[in-house]
Chains A and B, each alone.
Chain A
Amino acid sequence: MTGCKVTSRVRQVNENQCHMCMPLGGVIALRGVEHSVALVHGSQGCSTYMRLANVEHFNEPIDIASSSLNEKQAIFGGEANLRIALDNVIRVYRPKVIGILTSCLAETMGDDVERFVETYRTDREIGEIEIISVSTPSYGGTHTEGFWATTRAVIAHYARPAERHGGINVIVPNISPADIREIKRLLDLMGLEYTLLPDYSLTLDRPFGGRYQKIAPGGTPTAAIARMSGARATIQFGLTCPDTLSPGLFLEERFGVPLINLPLPIGLDGTDLFVGTLKDLSGQPVPDSLMLERGWLCDAMADTHKINAAARPVIYGEPELVYALAKLCLENGSVPAVIAGGTRNSGLAALLQPLLKDALEEPIVLEEADFVTIEDAAVRTSANLAVGHSGGKYLTERQGIPGLRVGYPIHDRVGGQRILSVGYAGTLALLDRFTNTLLEAKYSSYRRQRKEELLNEKGVSDAKA
């Protein structure tokens, strides 16, 4: 086969969307900065809605402040409200960092938030409190871009020329807190000193216990963020991150920190690339315990590849995860039927080309897709497994395609924050769920299917009833 067919959106209507708004991703990224609070500059519905969407996924308290713009401010500008909001957030929450994310409203009004913040800083004695503003209008991109833009803005805010040190930077895309913990475990196993940003592994998955704190403990310490410019190298899981938003590229171009852009460590090849890089950077051999994990994954793949080869998955969601999942599927002989993302400018289709050139079937690749387009493609290609977030529930409800939940957001199952899919162990956990979902569908229907087939052959199909 010659590769894939790429379809971009042609319709005006977005029916059942596959992407969300830019500040939503920003809110998550900010949770990865120690002692920080996010403040959305806009009408209060924005922050309320974003809390809702995140609370339902993470099952955690999500405090997002709002400048509560009303009609008057929409006309005369939102500076006064933003200042009051900053005063109150500082007073009640006592954060060390406040991240201001702009809404469509603030951007359309043309509020100059950078200047507002500058004036605020000179007027108020707020000492050590840092205020970082990020431009995140919903019409400017999706939650994926919002996540990257915010991570980059946080780095840019702290970055000064720093003394070179032996540590490395690790920049992650929007993955689950459980995935972040697993990546940190691998880094620790390989004996590397590192700064991982944004680290919301604790803040968005708080263990129970102790007195409730308004700002969740955890997050990347700001002192560590400030040292990122002096690191030996940056590992960024951001193949689909546009250059203009790339935090790793920023550190490379400004401070000469070499950028190693890797796919998410999902699957054998993906994890090998990561572990191999860590081996090179640390000069340490890969520990036996990790080789055991690799062995278990290989063993599982050997045992299940025949079942998995029958899968024609439809993979959808954020581009970075979609790319890694497509790679994993291909490693197992499951040729994706549909690969789809809601964003544009991720370069997903071009990235997929080399992977798909030897595939036995030709997948449909969709960018800027909504779920109606995805559903249509899934039906045309006889997809039999839906891999992605809860937005794809209609693939199951309407088309009977069994679903495997992974990614963000997951609103119709519990444990979105705990889904583990990176590393050898994480891949294995995901892969078993993948295989078992296929088996469950098979066991629930194959007797009936076989019966129907056999009866048809004999020409007595009317005996079906």
Chain B
Amino acid sequence: MTMTDVNVDELLAPMPDKVKKNRRKHIVKKDLSAGSCQQIEANTRTVPGIITQRGCCYAGCKGVVVGPIKDMLTITHGPIGCAYYSWGTRRNKARVDDRTPPEEIYTTMCFSTDMQESDIVFGGEKKLAKMIDEVVEIFHPRAINLCATCPIGLIGDDLGAVAKAAEKRHGIPVIHYNCEGYKGVSQSAGHHIANNQIMERIIGTGTEKVDGKYVLNILGEYNIGGDAWENERLLEEIGYTIGSTLTGDSAYVNIRNMHKAHLNLVQCHRSINYIAEMMETKYGTPWLKVNFIGIDATIDTLREIARCFGDEELIARTELVIERELAAVTPEIERYQKILKGRTAFVFVGGSRSHHYQFLLRNLGMEVMVAGYEFAHRDDYEGREVIPTIKSDADSKNIPELHLEPEPGIYRPPHLHLKMSKEKYDELVASGVLNDYKGMYPDMVNGGIMIDDANHFETEELVEIFKPDLIFTGIKDKYVTHKMGLPSKQMHSYDYSGPYTCFKGAVTFAKDVAHSLSTPAWKMITAPWEQSKTEQR
């Protein structure tokens, strides 16, 4: 079957009519002849019972955004399950640096109030308060996060009040997140809640001087398998200073000073665009959507960053670094291209990564036929130009929006951040470089499928239709595809590999993918004496 022949209705055939009607809207085929992207439904409620890959609000807040901040002690307030499940599962690597000694790093630990039945009945505020006292006594953390789980909102524990009282007792920030699992429709709600609190309570509270001619923050970089370190290595060599990442290998002490940066880079659009926008409003910090996944994508990104500052020396240095890195990896990449050329894949990961990995796979000679997200919004697929047309529903209205004003005395117009004239800045914005994201659609292959909140059933059907060579996805569906005789690569944690960013990361990735596709065992699945039977089938 060619890609353009896919019949979405046939794909959904076994589902009840109502579900079919719902799911059809989440599936869009790339059609070059149609001009613009057909509207995709996203960030709406999952149909119960169809086995979605989505997680919950708590997962987005604690598991994704807040958990990786290395020097904050994060307490999960609730019964034991949620804390356990979000314990070190995403391989957000963190290391000691000159501002954060080993004893201040808590990311490998798991703290829970382990609520029992009596706490549910009589309330858990006292237990939580006592626990905060204990962890302060034992660890003396710089700051504490409190994350709520489902029962908290229902039993009415006032996390804000507990946090406030604890701040008074201990003199350190205690930041609470009302990220009960049932809020919103996916992890996305949790990202937003975390973004709001980080913006309100942490960013801008630092008063230290941040040295560096060009200071960058990297937002939405979670340092899976060391990705952020590879980005930093390149950027620092070119002459940039990294203020802070959000939130891979990040520290409270650095996040505080993020408002001192000249430019925010946004890697994962979905989980962190709120902070990028809010910082633009409050401090005038411009933001640039970047992509360090893929060789050409990294080159484009590095050139765009340099262009934003317009410094000739920086531009020259950028070219030098690109040339050197490229020379080092090209022979390796060519070697793997021989194995990978012409292969096809599906990608289901992240809040920009299903888009980003298409660049890297194309560098390797592969094409992505189906791509999707669990928790994206329409703008992640169709581009930010659709934002004004997105209707706000009851689920998103429940997540508070912060309405910020320019901060007096600190706000500087964006062009001053970039040390350029207003005219030149406006030109950059108009050309679509700054403060914008075009979404995944423009980079999809013609006839390819974008699918939102794909469920187990649909993935299996799509595999039957497209017969891809490889699937890039999370661990939940990894073994389903294995059982179908199809290798899969775990992209949430990279199957213990990484980093995959920039030039060297591309080689590591190519090597991993080539291993998957060239392992002889896959061809030996059918016993020799069964071979002829299979051929007949």
Residues of A within 8 A of B (CB): 11-17, 19-24, 39, 42-53, 55-56, 59-74, 81-82, 84-89, 91-92, 103-105, 108-109, 137-140, 142, 206, 208-209, 212, 214, 394
Contact = CB atoms under 8 A, between A and B. Distances in A.
Given A12-B113, A12-B127, A20-B81, A55 B51 contact: no
A53 B54 contact: no
A237 to B, nearest CB: 25
A52 B78 contact: no
B477 interface: yes
Nearest to B186: A44
Interface in B74-97: 78-87, 89
Contacts of A84: 47-49
A317 B52 CA distance: 31
A65 B81 CA distance: 17
30 contacts: A13-B138, A16-B87, A17-B84, A20-B84, A22-B81, A24-B81, A42-B181, A43-B57, A46-B81, A53-B85, A61-B483, A68-B49, A70-B184, A72-B394, A73-B182, A74-B154, A85-B49, A86-B49, A88-B47, A92-B50, A103-B150, A104-B79, A104-B120, A104-B151, A105-B150, A105-B151, A109-B154, A138-B80, A139-B79, A212-B483
Given A15-B110, A137-B120, 5 more contacts: A16-B87, A21-B80, A42-B150, A88-B19, A139-B115
Q: Which 8 A-B pairs have the closest CB atoms?
A: A45-B56, A21-B81, A85-B49, A138-B79, A88-B49, A49-B85, A85-B48, A105-B150
Contact of A142 (B15, B55, B80): B80
B16 interface: yes
A14 B79 CA distance: 11
Interface in B377-393: none
A276 B358 CA distance: 62
Given A17-B114, A43-B182, A139-B119, A71 B395 contact: yes
Interface string B343-384: 000000000000000000000000000000000000000000
B55 A45 contact: yes
Interface string B140-154: 000000000111011
B478 interface: yes
Size class of the contact patch on chain B: 35 or more
A47 B155 CA distance: 22
Nearest to A371: B110
Nearest to A72: B394
B182 A71 contact: yes
Contacts of B15: 88, 91-92
Contact of B52 (A19, A44, A59): A44
Contacts of A42: 150, 181
Contacts of A208: 483, 525
A62 B81 contact: no
A386 B15 CA distance: 49
Contacts of A70: 45, 182-185, 395
Contact of B81 (A59, A86, A88, A138): A138
Nearest to B127: A12
B19 A68 contact: no
Contacts of B19: 88, 91
A95 B262 CA distance: 57
Given A61-B477, A91-B16, A105 B49 contact: no
B101 to A, nearest CB: 16
Interface string B39-76: 00000011111111111111100000000000000000
A16 B110 contact: yes
A55 B79 contact: no
Contact of A71 (B59, B111, B114, B183): B183
Contacts of A74: 150, 153-154, 180, 182
Interface in B188-205: none
B14 A92 contact: yes
Contacts of A82: 48
Contacts of A137: 79, 117, 120
Most buried by B among A23, A65, A68: A68
Nearest to A16: B110
B519 interface: no
B375 to A, nearest CB: 11
A36 to B, nearest CB: 14
Nearest to B398: A71
Contacts of A21: 79-82, 84
Contacts of B55: 44-45, 48-49
Contacts of A104: 78-79, 81, 120, 149-151
B446 to A, nearest CB: 30
B49 A43 contact: no
B144 to A, nearest CB: 12
A63 B456 contact: yes
Given A48-B59, A212-B483, A87 B49 contact: yes
